[in-house]
């Protein structure tokens, strides 16, 4: 009776790893020499609001568990949104206040179906999908505490990655994905402010 060999996901990953890196052992942590640019929105035109004070509040709480991975990324979506608010928004009035709330800032991972059997040994599939989401709301209040209006925006993007990707490859993908989503959010939020809060933009 002939023996039957079953190809498991572990076999597939081992084969792909050896094919990509020879006999070199894989790193358990991202290469510390990899550096990422400091995200900035300093090049955007400042938005001067007719309020005396501005507060930026990150209301998003990271789950710190699967499927969320923003706590492992070099740039968290909520941090990118907060950076936009601090770089672009300005309190330039004498009365009232503005509160910029970051309400969403997730980066999640979902597994994709890959090729099974012996064929999978010789094919590199996209094995994970990453979804980034950013949302926020700018609220304006008068000197008496009365709500004057608000502007909202959100942005989402996704990207897949190959199953033979290294940890550094994933770090680079996460950074680029969050950066692109943050730029989308910035454009959408700036447009919403100028449309919804026109009387209070100086």
pLDDT of the chain along its 202 residues, tens only? Answer: 433 333 344 444 434 444 444 333 344 565 666 789 899 999 999 999 999 999 999 999 999 999 999 999 999 999 999 999 999 999 999 999 999 999 999 999 999 987 776 665 667 778 899 999 999 999 999 999 999 999 999 999 999 999 889 999 999 999 999 999 999 999 999 999 999 999 999 9
CA quadruple 8, 9, 12, 18: dihedral sign: negative
**Paired tokens of 106:** 């997730």
Q: Are the CB atoms for 178 and 157 separated by under 8 Å?
A: no
What would the two tokens of residue 1 be?
């009776």
Helix (H, G, I), strand (E, B) or coil at 67: coil
DSSP state of 161: E
pLDDT at site 24: 37
- Helix (H) or strand (E) segment spanning residue 180: helix 167-196
* Rounded CA separation 190/111 (Å): 34
According to DSSP, the residues that pair with 101 across neighbouring strands are 57, 137
Q: What's the angle, vertex CA 174, arms to CA 182 and CA 23, rounded to 5?
A: 165
Burial of 118 (0-12, 13-18, 19+ CB in 10 A): exposed
pLDDT of the residue at 25: 38
Contacts 24+ apart (CB under 8 A), 117-122: 117/7, 118/7, 120/7, 120/12, 121/7, 121/11, 121/12, 121/15, 121/16
Nearest Cα to Cα of residue 100 among 90, 92, 112: 90
Q: What is the pTM of this model?
A: 0.81
């Amino acid at each position: 009776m002939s023996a039957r060999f079953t190809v498991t996901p572990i076999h597939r990953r081992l084969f792909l790893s050896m094919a990509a890196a020879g006999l070199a052992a894989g790193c358990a942590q991202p290469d510390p020499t990899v550096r990422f640019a400091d995200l900035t929105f300093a090049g955007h035109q400042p938005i001067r609001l007719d309020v005396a004070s501005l507060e930026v509040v990150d209301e998003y709480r990271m789950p710190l568990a699967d499927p969320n991975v923003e706590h492992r990324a070099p740039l968290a979506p909520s941090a990118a949104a907060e950076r936009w608010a601090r770089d672009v928004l300005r309190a330039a009035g004498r009365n009232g206040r503005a509160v910029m709330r970051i309400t969403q800032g997730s980066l999640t991972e979902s597994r994709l179906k890959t090729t099974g059997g012996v064929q999978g040994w010789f094919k590199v599939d996209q094995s994970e999908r990453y979804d980034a989401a950013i949302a926020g709301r700018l609220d304006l209040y008068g000197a008496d505490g009365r709500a004057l209006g608000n502007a909202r925006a959100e942005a989402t993007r996704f990207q897949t990655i190959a199953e033979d990707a290294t940890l550094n490859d994933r770090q680079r993908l996460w950074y680029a994905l969050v950066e692109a989503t943050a730029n989308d959010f910035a454009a959408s939020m700036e447009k919403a402010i100028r449309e919804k809060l026109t009387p209070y933009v100086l």
